[in-house]
């Protein structure tokens, strides 16, 4: 077998990519423990897979009762993929004829829906961050305020002018303390406004010193002596003073003139340029142009199109391959539950955060169209209050319908006990959500992904998601890593349980998966963490990284499910 691969290397010029062909002849001789190793088990193959093959041995002779539907609320999908096409969900009440046959408002939603599409078949490929979306929503109201010690100022004609407090103080502080933290645009804008503060004080101080000591060449020491005894309560003054002192260390000079010219006179220009660069490189209107809906209005719910082959479909196809890749056909990896039907609801372009409206509508679509398992593409730290309810209600809706929802952690080394991400089981302050699973990825050796977020209560379990060989767009196969792939492994096993024990609800399946892990409770493992602003490694007990203290195990899960169903 001669197999050759085209590897494309981006050249220095953006539009022109240089390619390089690589021989990958050795690929096929690898064993399953090296490729789709999530099927393997520690005792039989020596890798910490999810023991799927072993589960099938147990299920031999038992009846498959249901073809479970797994909905991926995230990326596109290559629905024509040779190893996947039999596992693609088809909406039986819809036809690809330009009409809304099933009267659900969406035209030709045959295999799912692309919420990031336009009526003309265009596809949105530009993502935005929630923080920046909130900045756009609130900037006219709050971005111009500078607050100091309970007082409010604005820049008027380059001068700092005291103004009345904003009407809705609570919202103002949300903007200042939350949005500004999470929005590059908001920070750049605030920097620009602050530059006026430095300029205004700096000019005043220079004029004062020039008048007091005519003809003197001021040094930074002169400046400090003149102004150091400032009122600590006056935060604006203090900030301007500190910036000028800071400037002397940046320019490594004690010459006040140099600092004044470079820092005080130049600061407005520089930070204005910084903001303009941020603004011009952040396309906040793409959704408006391509999709045309109002993402802040949940009732504006007929938008998008049915184009699922997108650039990010590569990501969706990799995850789908883990669930639905045809077993035993020698192509790619063996999916965990190839009788499953995979529904694709595209809300994510692979960059930025999906809009909560798209996710909430997708969850409802999936539940209404028979999904048993829903996989979301990401958590986020910012769920704005005016939209968060849509998500909670959608998750409760899924819970009520017995549908399991799985979401991956980010690979940002954070302890989720300290940084709150949504969705989580406690997000509406009511009774814990029983159908929501948060998953991180582990490798062949049973070690957690070094980068993954973790949480003794917040993360449910780890699942194979590193070095996974699976399907890729265009009837090809590749190896990938990421907690997104770990969620696919969990979704596959959940679907397997559902297929043979369809009476189990999402909440019951979650319980089973948690109780049936390959326990690694007392294993001491290396884990990357973040302390302050720096990354480091530390030893952790596995049980301190996730609730179950272990790694997904399909065999244990089907045995437990069998016991639960048949011993009722």
Partner 1 sequence: MRYLFIFWLVLGSALPGIAQEGLRLTGKVRLLEPMILKVTGVDGKEVFSVTVENNQPFSLGPERIEPDVYILSFGETKQAIYLTNREVTIKGFYDSRNPGSSSLSFTGIDEFMELSKWVPTDLDPQKRTVKPEAKEQLEGNMYSALAYLADMTQYEANKMVLEWIPEKNRNTASAKWLAHRVDSLGKFAVGAQAYDFEFVDTEGKKVRLSDFRGRLVLVDFWASWCGPCRREMKSLLPIYEELKGEDLEFISVSLDNREADWRKMLEEEKLPWVMLWNQEGFTAGNEPNVIQRAYGFYSIPFIVLIDKDGKIIERGLRGEKVKEAILKARQGK
- Which residue ranges make up the site for partner 1 (CB under 8 A)? 1-10, 15-24, 27-28, 78, 80, 123, 125, 309-311, 314-315, 318, 350, 378, 408, 410-411, 469, 472-484
For residue 354, the minimal CB distance to partner 1 (Å) is 13
For residue 360, the minimal CB distance to partner 1 (Å) is 21
Contact 405, 427 (CB under 8 A): no
Residue number with CB closer to partner 1 (314 or 558) = 314
| CA-closest candidate to residue 328, choices 36, 15, 22 | 36
Residue number with CB closer to partner 1 (236 or 314) = 314
| Residue 335 DSSP symbol | P
Beta pairing class for 404-408 and 436-442: parallel
For residue 435, the minimal CB distance to partner 1 (Å) is 22
**Rg over CA atoms, the chain:** 28
Residue number with CB closer to partner 1 (440 or 547) = 440
For residue 333, the minimal CB distance to partner 1 (Å) is 12
For residue 324, the minimal CB distance to partner 1 (Å) is 18
Q: d(Cα 297, Cα 378) in Å, to the nearest integer? A: 22
For residue 291, the minimal CB distance to partner 1 (Å) is 17
**Burial zone of 524 (CB within 10 Å; 0-12 exposed, 13-18 middle, 19+ buried):** exposed
Q: DSSP assignment of 161-190, as one string?
A: EEEPPPS-HHHHHHIIIIIHHH-HHHHHHH
**Burial zone of 85 (CB within 10 Å; 0-12 exposed, 13-18 middle, 19+ buried):** middle
Residue number with CB closer to partner 1 (317 or 435) = 317
For residue 432, the minimal CB distance to partner 1 (Å) is 25
Residue number with CB closer to partner 1 (78 or 358) = 78
Strand ranges in 40-114 using DSSP code E only, listed in sequence order: 69-74, 112-114
For residue 434, the minimal CB distance to partner 1 (Å) is 25
Residue number with CB closer to partner 1 (171 or 467) = 467
Tokens for 139, please give them.
């900037």
For residue 25, the minimal CB distance to partner 1 (Å) is 9
Q: d(Cα 190, Cα 131) in Å, to the nearest integer? A: 14
Residue number with CB closer to partner 1 (22 or 536) = 22
Q: Output the CA–CA distances (angstroms, integers) from residue 41 to 48, 329, 364, 555, 556, in the order listed.
A: 6, 21, 35, 9, 11
Residue number with CB closer to partner 1 (312 or 358) = 312
Residue number with CB closer to partner 1 (7 or 417) = 7
For residue 423, the minimal CB distance to partner 1 (Å) is 16
For helices 184-212 and 235-250, angle between their N-to-C axes, nearest 10 degrees: 90
Residue number with CB closer to partner 1 (12 or 211) = 12
CA of residue 296 relative to chain centroid, distance? 19
Q: d(Cα 516, Cα 549) in Å, to the nearest integer? A: 10
Contact 127, 353 (CB under 8 A): yes
């Amino acid at each position: 077998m001669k197999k050759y691969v085209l590897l494309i290397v981006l050249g220095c010029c953006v539009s022109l990519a240089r390619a390089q062909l690589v021989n990958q002849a050795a690929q096929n001789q690898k064993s399953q423990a090296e490729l789709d190793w999530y099927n393997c088990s520690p005792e039989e193959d020596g890798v910490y897979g999810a023991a799927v093959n072993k589960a099938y041995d147990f299920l031999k002779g038992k009846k498959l009762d249901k073809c479970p539907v797994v909905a991926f609320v995230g990326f596109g999908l290559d629905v024509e993929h040779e190893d996947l096409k039999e596992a693609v969900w088809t909406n039986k009440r819809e036809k690809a004829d330009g009409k809304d046959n099933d009267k659900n408002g969406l035209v030709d939603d045959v295999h799912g829906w692309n919420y990031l599409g336009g009526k003309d078949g265009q596809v949105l490929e530009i993502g935005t961050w929630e923080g920046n979306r909130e900045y756009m929503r609130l900037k006219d109201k709050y971005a111009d305020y500078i607050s100091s010690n309970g007082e409010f100022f604005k820049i008027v004609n380059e001068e700092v002018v005291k103004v009345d407090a904003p009407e809705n103080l609570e919202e103002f502080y949300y903007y200042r303390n939350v949005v500004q933290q999470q929005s590059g645009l908001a920070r750049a804008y605030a920097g620009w406004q602050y530059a006026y503060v430095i300029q205004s004080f700096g000019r005043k101080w220079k004029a004062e010193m020039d008048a007091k000591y005519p003809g003197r060449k001021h040094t930074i020491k002169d400046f400090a002596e003149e102004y150091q005894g400032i009122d600590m309560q006056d935060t604006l003054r203090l900030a301007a003073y500190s910036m000028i002192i800071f400037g002397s260390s940046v320019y490594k000079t004690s010459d006040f003139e140099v600092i004044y010219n470079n820092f005080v006179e130049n600061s407005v220009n520089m930070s204005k340029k910084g903001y303009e660069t941020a603004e011009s490189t952040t396309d906040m209107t793409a959704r408006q142009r391509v999709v045309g809906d109002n993402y802040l209005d949940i009732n504006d719910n007929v938008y998008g199109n049915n184009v699922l082959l997108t650039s990010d479909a590569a990501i969706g196809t990799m995850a789908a391959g883990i669930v639905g890749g045809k077993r035993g056909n020698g192509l790619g990896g063996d999916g965990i539950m190839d009788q499953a039907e995979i529904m694709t609801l595209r809300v994510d372009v692979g960059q930025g955060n999906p809009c909560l409206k798209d996710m909430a509508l997708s969850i409802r679509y999936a539940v209404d169209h028979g999904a048993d398992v829903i996989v979301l593409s990401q958590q986020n730290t910012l769920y704005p209050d005016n939209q968060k309810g849509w998500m909670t209600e959608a998750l409760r809706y899924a819970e009520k319908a017995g549908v399991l929802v799985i979401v991956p952690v980010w690979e940002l080394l954070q302890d989720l006990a300290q940084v709150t991400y949504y969705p989580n089981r406690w997000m509406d302050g009511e009774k814990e959500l029983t159908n929501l699973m948060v998953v991180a990825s582990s490798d062949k050796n049973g070690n957690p992904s070094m980068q993954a977020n973790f949480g003794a209560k917040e993360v449910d379990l780890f699942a194979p998601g590193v070095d996974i060989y699976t399907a890729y767009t265009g009837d090809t196969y590749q190896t990938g890593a990421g907690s997104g792939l770990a969620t696919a492994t969990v979704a596959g096993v959940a679907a397997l349980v559902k297929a043979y024990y369809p009476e189990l609800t999402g909440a019951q399946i979650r319980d089973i998966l948690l109780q049936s892990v390959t326990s690694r409770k007392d294993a001491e493992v290396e884990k990357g963490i973040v302390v302050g602003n720096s990354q480091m490694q530390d030893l952790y007990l596995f049980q301190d990284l996730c609730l179950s203290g272990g790694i997904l195990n399909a065999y244990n899960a089907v045995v437990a499910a069998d016991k639960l169903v048949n011993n009722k």
